Amino acid sequence: MVVSMNPYLNTNEIKEAFRKIYLEENYDFLEEDLIKLADGFIMAAMPAIVKTERDMCVKFVNSLNTNVARALGEYRENL
């Protein structure tokens, strides 16, 4: 059994997500292949997900306190 390397979905969640997807053909993937595909997609999307979350956080904080938001934005740029 291959263990998922991404921090977001476990093996059962990956299999469940795959079952919900409609594909044109039946590819009959092995469990190990599903995990590798999911890990690859998640890790490829990770930089965009992180940036979006950071931007949303700064935008929210900005709506509460612009000085704190500016400092947070500067801090997060250095991460």
53-68 confidence digits (pLDDT tens): 888 888 899 999 999 9
Structure tokens at 21: 């997807």
Average pLDDT, the chain: 86
30-52 mean pLDDT:
90
Answer whether residue 78 shows pLDDT above 80.
no
11-15 mean pLDDT:
87
4 falls within a domain: no
Q: What percent of the chain has pLDDT over 70?
A: 97
19 falls within a domain: yes
The tally of domains found in the chain comes to: 1
Contacts (Cβ under 8 Å, ≥6 apart) of 42? 6, 8, 9
Domain residues for the domain of 46 are 11-77
